[in-house]
Amino acid sequence: MNKFNSTQKIGDIVNAFPKAAEIFKGYKIDFCCGGNRPLIEAIDEQNVNEAELLNKLNSTYENYEVSSKDKNWFDADTDDIIEQILNKHHAYLWSELPVISKLSTTILRVHGQHHPELSKVHRLFNTLKMELEDHLTKEETIQYPAIKEYQKSGSLDDLKKAVEIINDLETEHTGAGNILKELSEITKDYSIPDDVCETFEKTYNKLKELEADIFQHIHLENNILFPRLRNLAGK
Ligand SMILES: [Fe+2]
Ligand SMILES: [Fe+2]
């Protein structure tokens, strides 16, 4: 029997089968910001062949051998999820955003004349960087300390503090997701033109890696951690 159908929520499918995230990415289906809706909605929106996608999901699931890399975050301890978000995804952004920013300026200066799209790439990336730095700071100074305090003391005030900021954070995730969508369109999914240098290639590869990392990061927050907090608070 098939495990997945199109009435299931996209985020639930990725929770049950993390590898589905890669398949969704291939079909430009948003599993992080848009994870809280039935798959059929995204299928209709993106004009995807429903039978083909379901077949791919179900056959990959049946033939997939789970390895130690495929941690099931849905069933993980809250402490482990927090550690993964802060030590892996936040740390990655703090270190990579300035690096990519410099690279995006370099390729704009060197290749901007022949690749006018780079001016938009530069602007969009730097907007994303600014918004994310603000967002990470909010999470690291307000939300995560409140969650950790709640974990330690069980204080409902701290839980409330962590939950009441969620709507704002989700809106910011959607904003970041929209910029990434635009970046992917302008760069034709980060394909490297023939007439460019290694720095150009490195920049686009880093942008692609950034996209994958942010999708996974937002998925952990939007589809696993935040619903868990809301449940605890009874909201
Ligand atoms: Fe985060
Ligand atoms: Fe976030």
**What mean pLDDT do residues 15-36 have?**
89
Q: Please give the residue that has the higher pLDDT: either 1 or 185.
A: 185
CA 6 – ligand 2 centroid, Å = 27
CA 65 – ligand 2 centroid, Å = 30
Stated pTM of the model: 0.89
CA 145 – ligand 1 centroid, Å = 13
Ligand minimally distant from the alpha carbon of residue 168: 2
- Specify the DSSP class assigned to residue 38: B
3-state secondary structure (DSSP) of residue 127: helix
CA 194 – ligand 1 centroid, Å = 36
CA 218 – ligand 1 centroid, Å = 7
- In the chain, pLDDT over 70 holds for what percent of residues? 98
The pairs formed by 39-43 with CB atoms below 8 angstroms and a separation of 24 or more are 39/4, 39/5, 39/6, 39/7, 39/8, 39/9, 39/10, 39/13, 40/6, 40/7, 42/10, 43/6
Confidence of residue 235 (pLDDT cuts 50, 70, 90): low
CA 55 – ligand 1 centroid, Å = 33
CA 142 – ligand 1 centroid, Å = 12
- Determine the pLDDT at residue 143: 94
Residues 51-83 pLDDT 10s: 999 999 999 999 887 776 678 898 899 999 999
The pairs formed by 146-149 with CB atoms below 8 angstroms and a separation of 24 or more are 147/78, 147/82, 147/229, 148/82
**What mean pLDDT do residues 18-41 have?**
90
- Determine the pLDDT at residue 135: 98
Residues 90-109 pLDDT 10s: 999 999 999 999 999 999 99
Q: Can you give the residue ranges of every domain in the chain?
A: 10-63, 73-232
CA 74 – ligand 2 centroid, Å = 17
CA 138 – ligand 1 centroid, Å = 9
Confidence of residue 196 (pLDDT cuts 50, 70, 90): confident
CA 42 – ligand 2 centroid, Å = 22
- Determine the pLDDT at residue 68: 61
Q: Please give the residue that has the higher pLDDT: either 122 or 64.
A: 122
- Determine the pLDDT at residue 34: 84
- Determine the pLDDT at residue 70: 73
- Determine the pLDDT at residue 192: 93
**Gap between the Cα atoms of 110 and 115, Å rounded:** 10
- Determine the pLDDT at residue 49: 95
Average pLDDT of the residues of the chain = 93
CA 223 to each of CA 33, 74, 113, 169: distance values in angstroms, whole numbers, following the listed order: 9, 9, 42, 13
Ligand minimally distant from the alpha carbon of residue 171: 2
Confidence of residue 165 (pLDDT cuts 50, 70, 90): very high
CA 109 – ligand 1 centroid, Å = 32
- Determine the pLDDT at residue 220: 95
CA 145 – ligand 2 centroid, Å = 14
